[in-house]
Structure 1
Amino acid sequence: QEAHEAVRPTDLFRRPEQVSRHLDKDQLALYTLIWKRTVACQMEDARFD
């Protein structure tokens, strides 16, 4: 199968608000979505009492 590599941030320290001045509205929305999902998938599961 010849799938494309996933789109992902190259530096997790480049938060959406830091790159917003370089992106238009749609690009920022997409970057924010990708950044949040990338960070979320690296976190531990929530624990509830």
Structure 2
Amino acid sequence: MPYADKDEAKKQLGARWDPGRRKWYVDAAKVSREQAARWLPPSQ
């Protein structure tokens, strides 16, 4: 997800920063695809 959206993602999804991978992530077991749809790449 874009850095600019981090505060909203943290609040809504519980997103966390992974310093090893240098990426934001969410626990997929706790977040539905619909909740995270805004930050997911388009389906093919």
Which of the pair has more CA radius of gyration?
1
- Answer 1 or 2: which has greater strand percent: 2
TM-score (norm. length: structure 2): 0.29
Q: Larger RCO: Structure 1 or Structure 2 (Cα < 8 Å, ≥ 6 residues apart)?
A: 1
More helix by share: 1
